[in-house]
Amino acid sequence: MDGVHDLGGTQGFGGVRYAPGAQVFHAAWEMRANALYALCARRGIINMDEYRHAIERMEPRHYLGAGYFERSLTGLATLLVEKGLATAQELNVLAGGRFPLALPAAAGRVNAPGRHRYQAGDAVNVRNEHFSGHVRMPAYIRGKSGVVVAVSPAYPFPDAHAHGLDAEHEPTYDVRFRSIDLWPDACDAAMVHVGVFESYLEPGRAQPPVASAGVALADSA
């Protein structure tokens, strides 16, 4: 889904603030929220993809105004209500007011049919698709071309896994993109690496060589 959470490659948000040695937790409730999420994941009550999607579904103004652990707690609470393990009324009582939950989910989708297998050196295109459910593909690579440089172990397809559908395992590919292809008018020369699931890719054409550039690394969405 195209949502406020997908900020990769987006302009106007300034530099990433980073303080070496900063505290992980700043309040006791943050530690408890993190422990609850980890416990539910370890016991199989939730999976990582549906947890990510629950955070993506937060009301945009709430998402932008919330910190990391508030987003985590909102996503977890939403899933527990949707799974019938808690009620919104119970959460409201505990919070002493309205406990904001994420918005309802759209339908998911299964793995792409007729997928291709790739190996290092293969040229690929990222499918130019717009989908309302959970997607682990950053929007800034949609419709772009790159080259596979490595293959990672298979994992359940997130677009299905987040929605409780049958999710076949498929590999992710470390795809190298040229920054000029991603942001033609607003970038320094660099190579950007993104982990891309097989269902998001299709065979592409070989790219022309470019001048030597630095390397920027990026994870999947």
> What is the C-alpha separation between 54 and 57, in angstroms, rounded?
5
The reported pLDDT for the residue numbered 129 is 93
Confirm if 119 and 151 have CB atoms less than 8 A apart.
yes
Residue 213 has pLDDT above 80, yes or no: no
**Averaged pLDDT, 146-150:** 97
| Per-residue model confidence as pLDDT tens digits over 171-185 | 999 999 999 999 998
Integer Cα distance of 197 and 170 in angstroms: 7
Burial of 118 (0-12, 13-18, 19+ CB in 10 A): buried
Tell me if 1-101 shares its fold with 123-217. Answer: no
Domain 1-101 = CATH 3.40.50.300: no
| Topology of the domain covering 123-217 | SH3 type barrels. (2.30.30)
Radius of gyration for the chain, computed over Cα atoms and rounded to the nearest angstrom: 19
Element (H, E) at 93: helix 88-95
* DSSP H or E run through 159: helix 158-161
The share of the chain scoring above pLDDT 70, in percent, equals: 93
Question: What average pLDDT does the segment 119-128 reach?
Answer: 97
Is 3 a residue whose pLDDT tops 60?
Answer: yes
pLDDT at 187: 85
Distance CA 8, CA 171 (A): 22
In this predicted structure, the answer to whether residue 198 has a pLDDT above a threshold of 80 is yes
Q: Which of 200, 62, 188, 44 is nearest to 136 (CA)?
A: 200
The pLDDT value recorded for residue 212 is 46
Q: Which of 1-10, 28-37, 108-117 has the lowest mean pLDDT?
A: 1-10
Looking at residue 15, its pLDDT comes to 81
Instruction: State the pLDDT confidence band at 16, using cuts at 50, 70 and 90.
Output: confident
**pLDDT of 37 strictly over 80:** yes
pLDDT value at 21 more than 60: yes
Q: Report the percent of the chain where pLDDT is more than 90.
A: 81
Contacts of 119 (CB under 8 A, 6+ apart): 148, 151
Helix, strand, coil abundance in the chain, percent, nearest 5? 30, 20, 50
63 neighbors 5 (Cβ within 8 angstroms): yes
How much is the pLDDT for 221?
A: 45
Which pLDDT score, from 0 to 100, does residue 214 have?
56
Instruction: Name the residue ranges covered by the structural domains of the chain.
Output: 1-101, 123-217
The rounded distance, in Å, linking the Cα atoms of 127 and 11 is 23
pLDDT at 7: 82
